[in-house]
Structure 1
Protein backbone atom coordinates (compact mmCIF):
# COMPACT_ATOMS: atom_id res chain seq x y z
CA UNK A 1 0.00 0.00 0.00
CA UNK A 2 2.91 2.37 0.69
CA UNK A 3 4.19 1.98 -2.90
CA UNK A 4 0.69 2.75 -4.18
CA UNK A 5 0.49 5.84 -1.96
CA UNK A 6 3.90 6.91 -3.27
CA UNK A 7 2.56 6.57 -6.83
CA UNK A 8 -0.49 8.58 -5.77
CA UNK A 9 1.71 11.39 -4.44
CA UNK A 10 3.65 11.41 -7.73
CA UNK A 11 0.43 11.70 -9.75
CA UNK A 12 -0.77 14.45 -7.41
CA UNK A 13 2.50 16.36 -7.93
CA UNK A 14 2.20 15.98 -11.72
CA UNK A 15 -1.38 17.26 -11.87
CA UNK A 16 -0.67 19.99 -9.34
CA UNK A 17 2.30 21.19 -11.39
CA UNK A 18 0.34 21.13 -14.64
CA UNK A 19 -2.54 22.96 -12.97
CA UNK A 20 -0.26 25.73 -11.77
CA UNK A 21 1.37 26.05 -15.20
CA UNK A 22 -2.01 26.26 -16.86
CA UNK A 23 -2.83 29.30 -14.70
CA UNK A 24 -0.54 31.14 -17.14
CA UNK A 25 -2.66 29.97 -20.07
CA UNK A 26 -5.59 31.81 -18.52
CA UNK A 27 -3.54 35.01 -18.61
CA UNK A 28 -2.49 34.27 -22.19
CA UNK A 29 -6.12 33.70 -23.20
CA UNK A 30 -7.15 37.02 -21.64
CA UNK A 31 -4.30 38.87 -23.38
CA UNK A 32 -5.02 37.26 -26.77
CA UNK A 33 -8.75 37.96 -26.45
CA UNK A 34 -8.16 41.56 -25.39
CA UNK A 35 -5.59 42.33 -28.08
CA UNK A 36 -7.77 40.68 -30.70
CA UNK A 37 -10.79 42.77 -29.68
CA UNK A 38 -8.82 46.03 -29.55
CA UNK A 39 -7.25 45.41 -32.97
CA UNK A 40 -10.56 44.32 -34.49
CA UNK A 41 -12.44 47.40 -33.34
CA UNK A 42 -9.67 50.00 -33.58
CA UNK A 43 -8.17 49.25 -37.00
CA UNK A 44 -10.89 46.95 -38.35
CA UNK A 45 -8.55 43.97 -38.77
CA UNK A 46 -9.23 40.42 -37.71
CA UNK A 47 -7.55 37.08 -38.19
CA UNK A 48 -8.97 33.59 -37.88
CA UNK A 49 -5.65 32.50 -36.39
CA UNK A 50 -6.19 34.77 -33.36
CA UNK A 51 -9.74 33.49 -32.89
CA UNK A 52 -8.57 29.89 -33.14
CA UNK A 53 -5.70 30.59 -30.73
CA UNK A 54 -8.29 31.76 -28.19
CA UNK A 55 -10.17 28.50 -28.75
CA UNK A 56 -6.98 26.43 -28.39
CA UNK A 57 -6.07 28.19 -25.14
CA UNK A 58 -9.55 27.63 -23.71
CA UNK A 59 -9.39 23.95 -24.73
CA UNK A 60 -5.95 23.60 -23.13
CA UNK A 61 -7.17 25.18 -19.90
CA UNK A 62 -10.21 22.94 -19.75
CA UNK A 63 -8.57 19.66 -20.79
CA UNK A 64 -5.25 19.95 -18.98
CA UNK A 65 -6.88 20.98 -15.70
CA UNK A 66 -9.35 18.11 -15.45
CA UNK A 67 -6.95 16.07 -13.30
CA UNK A 68 -5.99 19.16 -11.28
CA UNK A 69 -9.66 19.88 -10.64
CA UNK A 70 -10.21 16.32 -9.44
CA UNK A 71 -7.11 16.54 -7.23
CA UNK A 72 -8.43 19.69 -5.55
CA UNK A 73 -11.93 18.18 -5.23
CA UNK A 74 -13.34 21.12 -7.19
CA UNK A 75 -15.31 19.09 -9.71
CA UNK A 76 -19.09 19.26 -9.75
CA UNK A 77 -20.78 17.16 -7.10
CA UNK A 78 -24.31 16.88 -5.92
CA UNK A 79 -24.02 15.94 -2.26
CA UNK A 80 -27.58 16.40 -1.07
CA UNK A 81 -27.80 12.77 0.03
CA UNK A 82 -24.17 11.59 0.17
CA UNK A 83 -23.05 14.46 2.40
CA UNK A 84 -25.17 13.05 5.22
CA UNK A 85 -23.22 9.79 5.36
CA UNK A 86 -19.95 9.04 7.11
CA UNK A 87 -16.58 9.62 5.45
CA UNK A 88 -16.21 5.85 5.02
CA UNK A 89 -19.49 5.57 3.09
CA UNK A 90 -18.51 8.60 1.00
CA UNK A 91 -15.13 7.00 0.23
CA UNK A 92 -16.80 3.69 -0.72
CA UNK A 93 -19.19 5.51 -3.06
CA UNK A 94 -16.20 7.34 -4.57
CA UNK A 95 -14.38 4.03 -5.13
CA UNK A 96 -17.45 2.67 -6.89
CA UNK A 97 -17.85 5.82 -9.00
CA UNK A 98 -14.21 5.94 -10.03
CA UNK A 99 -14.15 2.28 -11.06
CA UNK A 100 -17.58 2.03 -12.67
CA UNK A 101 -18.00 5.48 -14.21
CA UNK A 102 -14.79 7.53 -14.37
CA UNK A 103 -12.33 4.89 -15.61
CA UNK A 104 -14.50 3.43 -18.40
CA UNK A 105 -15.54 6.89 -19.66
CA UNK A 106 -12.09 8.50 -19.50
CA UNK A 107 -10.24 5.50 -20.94
CA UNK A 108 -12.77 5.13 -23.77
CA UNK A 109 -12.54 8.81 -24.73
CA UNK A 110 -8.74 8.71 -24.50
CA UNK A 111 -8.65 5.58 -26.66
CA UNK A 112 -11.08 6.91 -29.28
CA UNK A 113 -9.51 10.36 -29.50
CA UNK A 114 -5.95 9.13 -30.12
CA UNK A 115 -6.59 8.03 -33.75
CA UNK A 116 -8.23 11.38 -34.47
CA UNK A 117 -5.14 13.20 -33.20
CA UNK A 118 -2.82 10.82 -35.05
CA UNK A 119 -4.68 11.25 -38.35
CA UNK A 120 -4.65 15.02 -37.94
CA UNK A 121 -0.93 15.00 -37.20
CA UNK A 122 0.01 12.69 -40.08
CA UNK A 123 -2.09 14.59 -42.64
CA UNK A 124 -1.04 18.03 -41.35
CA UNK A 125 -4.73 18.93 -41.00
CA UNK A 126 -5.35 22.65 -41.18
CA UNK A 127 -8.33 24.72 -40.21
CA UNK A 128 -10.92 25.06 -42.95
CA UNK A 129 -11.02 28.80 -42.21
CA UNK A 130 -8.74 31.10 -44.18
CA UNK A 131 -5.64 31.91 -42.14
CA UNK A 132 -6.50 29.28 -39.54
CA UNK A 133 -4.11 27.16 -37.52
CA UNK A 134 -3.03 23.54 -37.68
CA UNK A 135 -5.52 21.26 -35.90
CA UNK A 136 -3.40 18.55 -34.31
CA UNK A 137 -2.39 20.53 -31.19
CA UNK A 138 -6.04 20.98 -30.25
CA UNK A 139 -6.80 17.34 -30.99
CA UNK A 140 -3.84 16.21 -28.85
CA UNK A 141 -5.37 17.98 -25.85
CA UNK A 142 -8.22 15.45 -25.70
CA UNK A 143 -6.22 12.24 -25.09
CA UNK A 144 -3.69 14.08 -22.91
CA UNK A 145 -6.44 15.65 -20.81
CA UNK A 146 -8.23 12.35 -20.34
CA UNK A 147 -4.93 10.64 -19.52
CA UNK A 148 -4.33 13.19 -16.75
CA UNK A 149 -7.90 12.68 -15.50
CA UNK A 150 -7.47 8.89 -15.54
CA UNK A 151 -4.16 9.17 -13.69
CA UNK A 152 -5.75 11.41 -11.06
CA UNK A 153 -8.62 8.96 -10.82
CA UNK A 154 -6.07 6.24 -10.02
CA UNK A 155 -4.50 8.50 -7.38
CA UNK A 156 -7.88 9.23 -5.80
CA UNK A 157 -8.79 5.54 -5.90
CA UNK A 158 -5.56 4.65 -4.09
CA UNK A 159 -6.23 7.32 -1.44
CA UNK A 160 -9.83 6.16 -0.92
CA UNK A 161 -8.81 2.50 -0.61
CA UNK A 162 -6.01 3.42 1.83
CA UNK A 163 -8.54 5.38 3.87
CA UNK A 164 -11.02 2.47 3.89
CA UNK A 165 -8.21 0.08 4.89
CA UNK A 166 -7.28 2.35 7.80
CA UNK A 167 -3.83 3.21 6.42
CA UNK A 168 -4.58 6.95 6.22
CA UNK A 169 -6.82 9.23 8.23
CA UNK A 170 -8.17 11.19 5.26
CA UNK A 171 -8.21 10.32 1.55
CA UNK A 172 -6.12 13.26 0.31
CA UNK A 173 -7.73 16.64 0.86
CA UNK A 174 -11.29 17.36 1.84
CA UNK A 175 -13.61 14.57 0.79
CA UNK A 176 -16.73 16.39 -0.25
CA UNK A 177 -16.43 20.11 -0.15
CA UNK A 178 -13.73 22.73 -0.16
CA UNK A 179 -10.66 22.45 2.00
Structure 2
Protein backbone atom coordinates (compact mmCIF):
# COMPACT_ATOMS: atom_id res chain seq x y z
CA UNK A 1 0.00 0.00 0.00
CA UNK A 2 2.91 2.37 0.69
CA UNK A 3 4.07 2.09 -2.92
CA UNK A 4 0.57 2.85 -4.20
CA UNK A 5 0.26 5.86 -1.89
CA UNK A 6 3.66 7.13 -3.08
CA UNK A 7 2.48 6.72 -6.68
CA UNK A 8 -0.71 8.58 -5.79
CA UNK A 9 1.28 11.48 -4.29
CA UNK A 10 3.44 11.59 -7.43
CA UNK A 11 0.39 11.76 -9.74
CA UNK A 12 -1.21 14.39 -7.47
CA UNK A 13 1.90 16.54 -7.63
CA UNK A 14 2.13 16.34 -11.43
CA UNK A 15 -1.52 17.29 -11.85
CA UNK A 16 -1.24 20.07 -9.29
CA UNK A 17 1.70 21.64 -11.12
CA UNK A 18 -0.01 21.31 -14.51
CA UNK A 19 -3.39 22.51 -13.19
CA UNK A 20 -1.94 25.62 -11.59
CA UNK A 21 0.33 26.34 -14.56
CA UNK A 22 -2.32 26.24 -17.27
CA UNK A 23 -4.61 28.61 -15.41
CA UNK A 24 -2.55 31.47 -16.85
CA UNK A 25 -3.74 30.51 -20.31
CA UNK A 26 -7.15 31.92 -19.39
CA UNK A 27 -5.54 35.35 -19.09
CA UNK A 28 -3.85 34.88 -22.47
CA UNK A 29 -7.16 33.85 -24.01
CA UNK A 30 -8.95 36.88 -22.55
CA UNK A 31 -6.22 39.26 -23.77
CA UNK A 32 -6.30 37.75 -27.26
CA UNK A 33 -10.08 37.95 -27.29
CA UNK A 34 -10.06 41.59 -26.19
CA UNK A 35 -7.33 42.51 -28.67
CA UNK A 36 -9.16 40.75 -31.49
CA UNK A 37 -12.40 42.55 -30.61
CA UNK A 38 -10.69 45.96 -30.51
CA UNK A 39 -8.97 45.36 -33.87
CA UNK A 40 -12.21 44.09 -35.42
CA UNK A 41 -14.22 47.11 -34.22
CA UNK A 42 -11.50 49.70 -34.85
CA UNK A 43 -10.08 48.55 -38.18
CA UNK A 44 -12.92 46.32 -39.40
CA UNK A 45 -10.58 43.34 -39.87
CA UNK A 46 -10.62 39.93 -38.25
CA UNK A 47 -8.65 36.72 -38.29
CA UNK A 48 -9.94 33.19 -37.95
CA UNK A 49 -6.52 32.18 -36.66
CA UNK A 50 -6.88 34.49 -33.63
CA UNK A 51 -10.36 33.16 -32.96
CA UNK A 52 -9.05 29.60 -33.10
CA UNK A 53 -6.14 30.44 -30.79
CA UNK A 54 -8.72 31.53 -28.21
CA UNK A 55 -10.52 28.20 -28.22
CA UNK A 56 -7.21 26.30 -28.36
CA UNK A 57 -6.15 28.05 -25.15
CA UNK A 58 -9.50 27.64 -23.43
CA UNK A 59 -9.74 23.98 -24.46
CA UNK A 60 -6.20 23.37 -23.21
CA UNK A 61 -7.07 24.81 -19.80
CA UNK A 62 -10.28 22.79 -19.59
CA UNK A 63 -8.58 19.53 -20.58
CA UNK A 64 -5.33 19.86 -18.64
CA UNK A 65 -6.95 21.19 -15.46
CA UNK A 66 -9.67 18.50 -15.32
CA UNK A 67 -7.41 16.11 -13.38
CA UNK A 68 -6.46 18.85 -10.91
CA UNK A 69 -10.16 19.65 -10.47
CA UNK A 70 -10.86 16.01 -9.65
CA UNK A 71 -7.94 15.95 -7.23
CA UNK A 72 -9.30 18.98 -5.36
CA UNK A 73 -12.81 17.48 -5.30
CA UNK A 74 -14.17 20.47 -7.22
CA UNK A 75 -15.87 18.45 -9.95
CA UNK A 76 -19.61 18.48 -10.36
CA UNK A 77 -21.53 16.40 -7.90
CA UNK A 78 -25.00 16.48 -6.44
CA UNK A 79 -24.20 17.89 -2.98
CA UNK A 80 -27.82 17.73 -1.88
CA UNK A 81 -27.79 13.95 -2.12
CA UNK A 82 -24.15 13.52 -1.14
CA UNK A 83 -24.58 15.51 2.08
CA UNK A 84 -27.41 13.21 3.20
CA UNK A 85 -25.05 10.22 3.15
CA UNK A 86 -22.66 9.21 5.90
CA UNK A 87 -18.96 9.86 5.37
CA UNK A 88 -18.27 6.14 4.95
CA UNK A 89 -21.08 5.76 2.39
CA UNK A 90 -19.75 8.77 0.44
CA UNK A 91 -16.30 7.15 0.41
CA UNK A 92 -17.73 3.92 -0.99
CA UNK A 93 -19.83 5.78 -3.56
CA UNK A 94 -16.75 7.72 -4.71
CA UNK A 95 -14.67 4.56 -4.93
CA UNK A 96 -17.27 2.61 -6.89
CA UNK A 97 -18.09 5.51 -9.22
CA UNK A 98 -14.42 6.10 -10.00
CA UNK A 99 -13.98 2.42 -10.87
CA UNK A 100 -17.27 1.86 -12.72
CA UNK A 101 -17.81 5.20 -14.46
CA UNK A 102 -14.70 7.40 -14.52
CA UNK A 103 -11.98 4.93 -15.50
CA UNK A 104 -13.85 3.13 -18.29
CA UNK A 105 -14.79 6.50 -19.82
CA UNK A 106 -11.28 7.97 -19.60
CA UNK A 107 -9.72 4.73 -20.90
CA UNK A 108 -12.08 4.73 -23.87
CA UNK A 109 -11.45 8.38 -24.78
CA UNK A 110 -7.68 7.94 -24.39
CA UNK A 111 -7.73 4.79 -26.51
CA UNK A 112 -9.80 6.44 -29.25
CA UNK A 113 -7.75 9.64 -29.15
CA UNK A 114 -4.44 7.98 -30.07
CA UNK A 115 -5.28 7.11 -33.72
CA UNK A 116 -7.31 10.34 -34.05
CA UNK A 117 -4.29 12.45 -33.02
CA UNK A 118 -1.82 10.41 -35.10
CA UNK A 119 -4.00 10.69 -38.21
CA UNK A 120 -4.27 14.45 -37.73
CA UNK A 121 -0.50 14.81 -37.23
CA UNK A 122 0.40 12.61 -40.20
CA UNK A 123 -1.99 14.35 -42.56
CA UNK A 124 -1.13 17.87 -41.42
CA UNK A 125 -4.83 18.49 -40.86
CA UNK A 126 -5.78 22.17 -40.99
CA UNK A 127 -8.94 23.92 -39.89
CA UNK A 128 -11.58 24.29 -42.59
CA UNK A 129 -11.85 28.00 -41.79
CA UNK A 130 -10.02 30.45 -44.04
CA UNK A 131 -6.71 31.30 -42.37
CA UNK A 132 -7.30 28.56 -39.81
CA UNK A 133 -4.63 26.79 -37.80
CA UNK A 134 -3.31 23.25 -37.80
CA UNK A 135 -5.51 21.00 -35.68
CA UNK A 136 -3.20 18.41 -34.15
CA UNK A 137 -2.01 20.65 -31.26
CA UNK A 138 -5.62 21.00 -30.09
CA UNK A 139 -6.27 17.30 -30.61
CA UNK A 140 -3.17 16.27 -28.69
CA UNK A 141 -4.51 18.20 -25.70
CA UNK A 142 -7.49 15.81 -25.66
CA UNK A 143 -5.10 12.86 -25.45
CA UNK A 144 -2.92 14.47 -22.77
CA UNK A 145 -5.90 15.71 -20.78
CA UNK A 146 -7.63 12.33 -20.66
CA UNK A 147 -4.35 10.57 -19.86
CA UNK A 148 -3.88 12.90 -16.88
CA UNK A 149 -7.51 12.37 -15.85
CA UNK A 150 -7.04 8.59 -16.01
CA UNK A 151 -3.94 8.80 -13.83
CA UNK A 152 -5.77 11.04 -11.37
CA UNK A 153 -8.65 8.57 -11.32
CA UNK A 154 -6.22 5.85 -10.21
CA UNK A 155 -4.80 8.20 -7.61
CA UNK A 156 -8.27 8.94 -6.24
CA UNK A 157 -9.09 5.22 -6.08
CA UNK A 158 -5.87 4.54 -4.14
CA UNK A 159 -6.56 7.38 -1.69
CA UNK A 160 -10.23 6.49 -1.24
CA UNK A 161 -9.37 2.84 -0.54
CA UNK A 162 -6.67 3.91 1.92
CA UNK A 163 -9.22 6.13 3.70
CA UNK A 164 -11.79 3.31 3.82
CA UNK A 165 -9.35 0.83 5.37
CA UNK A 166 -8.01 3.47 7.77
CA UNK A 167 -4.49 3.79 6.34
CA UNK A 168 -4.67 7.57 5.85
CA UNK A 169 -6.81 10.49 6.97
CA UNK A 170 -9.13 11.79 4.29
CA UNK A 171 -7.21 14.38 2.24
CA UNK A 172 -10.56 15.85 1.16
CA UNK A 173 -11.81 16.66 4.67
CA UNK A 174 -10.63 20.27 4.44
CA UNK A 175 -12.17 20.61 0.99
CA UNK A 176 -15.55 19.09 1.85
CA UNK A 177 -16.32 21.33 4.83
CA UNK A 178 -14.04 24.36 4.66
CA UNK A 179 -14.34 26.78 7.56
CA UNK A 180 -16.74 29.67 7.11
CA UNK A 181 -15.47 33.23 6.93
CA UNK A 182 -16.69 33.77 10.50
CA UNK A 183 -14.79 30.68 11.71
CA UNK A 184 -11.63 31.81 9.96
CA UNK A 185 -11.90 35.33 11.40
CA UNK A 186 -12.63 34.01 14.89
CA UNK A 187 -9.41 32.01 14.76
CA UNK A 188 -7.27 34.94 13.64
CA UNK A 189 -5.29 36.94 16.22
CA UNK A 190 -6.44 40.52 16.69
CA UNK A 191 -4.27 43.29 15.35
CA UNK A 192 -2.22 45.22 17.89
CA UNK A 193 -3.72 48.47 19.11
CA UNK A 194 -7.36 47.55 18.51
Q: What TM bracket, shorter-length normalisation?
A: over 0.9
TM-score when normalising by structure 1: 0.95
Matches within 5 A, 1:8-157: 8-157=8-157
1:82-136 deviation line (CA, Å, top 9, x unaligned): 3222222111111100000000011101111211111000000011111110000
Ranges of 4+ aligned residues in structure 1 off by more than 3 Å: 174-179
Report SS of the residue matched to 1:81: helix
Q: Tell me the CA shift for residue 24 of structure 1.
A: 1.0
Q: 1:82, 1:58 → 2: CA distance? A: 30
Q: 1:56, 1:178 → 2: CA distance? A: 35
5+ long unaligned stretches in structure 1: none
Report SS of the residue matched to 1:127: coil
Comparing both chains, which one has the higher relative contact order based on Cα–Cα distances under 8 Å and sequence gaps of 6 or more?
Answer: 1
5+ long unaligned stretches in structure 2: 179-194
Q: 1:153, 1:124 → 2: CA distance? A: 32
Q: 1:25, 1:82 → 2: CA distance? A: 33
CA RMSD of aligned residues (A): 1.3
Q: 2:144, 2:127 → 1: CA distance? A: 21
Q: Tell me the CA shift for residue 162 of structure 1.
A: 0.3
Q: 2:34, 2:158 → 1: CA distance? A: 43
1:48-106 deviation line (CA, Å, top 9, x unaligned): 10000001011101111110110111100003223222222111111100000000011
Aligned residue number for residue 177 of structure 1: 176
Q: Tell me the CA shift for residue 178 of structure 1.
A: 5.8
Alpha-carbon contact 1:73-1:174 (below 8 Å) kept: no
Q: 2:169, 2:111 → 1: CA distance? A: 35
Aligned residue number for residue 190 of structure 2: none
Shift of the 175–154 alpha-carbon distance from structure 1 to 2, 3 Å rule, reads farther
Q: 2:174, 2:163 → 1: CA distance? A: 11
Which has the higher Rg, Structure 1 or Structure 2? 2
